[in-house]
A and B are shown apart, each in its own frame.
Chain A
């Protein structure tokens, strides 16, 4: 059964810092991996999606990497801003289903 773990559970950084969020999964037979952002009181927003055949995806200040063989993904956020404060979730899809991690709560201090 697929298990998804995110480390750290919470992270607080000063504005402008570069940071890395980690996601690990136990079953490498995935279809794709997504990173989401969750803001309090709001739904999930998809940030990046990496297909199983890809190694990384970039969108603006965000870069996500995928290493299927080791069961790991990282989300790199460059030059963090207070507006980046949210919970970040990673999810893996073996097929039509999605398995989520518990998330990393990020706080970027001005």
Chain B
């Protein structure tokens, strides 16, 4: 009974392609996030949505576009993929209204751009 799921788990693609990563959470949370984990294991936030509205948009190339069709989904679309986009991308969700705000993470999507 997965709380935060991501698809696909692995993604290997050529430079210049356009790809999407999907994220779904069944926790009823209001806020969802996308993180990028670089080769040094640092997790850097990319985007955050609250109730389908963008609230955090860190400095990422505009080739990255998040889309939230509803509260339970936050998809990440990447245009014109580059070698430097290779990384693990994590989706997460949280419910700020709770006294303890824990972020729940998905299993990650390993993207390799060739």
Contacts and interface: CB of A to CB of B under 8 A. Distances in A.
B26 to A, nearest CB: 15
Interface in B49-104: 50, 55-56, 90, 92, 94, 96, 100-104
Given A42-B107, A43-B90, A96 B56 contact: yes
B27 to A, nearest CB: 13
Contacts of B55: 96
Interface SS, A side: strand
B96 A51 contact: no
A80 to B, nearest CB: 21
Interface residues on chain A, size class: 20 to 34
Interface in A37-96: 38, 41-46, 49, 51, 87, 89, 91, 93, 96
Contacts of B101: 31-32, 49, 93
Contacts of A87: 41
B40 A44 contact: no
B4 A49 contact: no
Interface residues of B, number: 26
B29 to A, nearest CB: 12
Nearest to A105: B41
B103 A34 contact: yes
A83 to B, nearest CB: 19
B48 A44 contact: no
Contacts of A103: 41
A98 interface: yes
11 contacts: A43-B4, A43-B107, A44-B43, A44-B105, A46-B103, A49-B100, A89-B41, A96-B31, A98-B33, A98-B45, A101-B42
Given A98-B103, A100-B44, 8 more contacts: A31-B101, A32-B101, A42-B108, A45-B105, A49-B101, A49-B102, A97-B56, A98-B45
Sort A-B residue pairs by CB-CB distance and give the 9 closest, nearest first: A100-B43, A44-B105, A43-B107, A43-B105, A103-B41, A46-B102, A102-B41, A43-B106, A43-B108
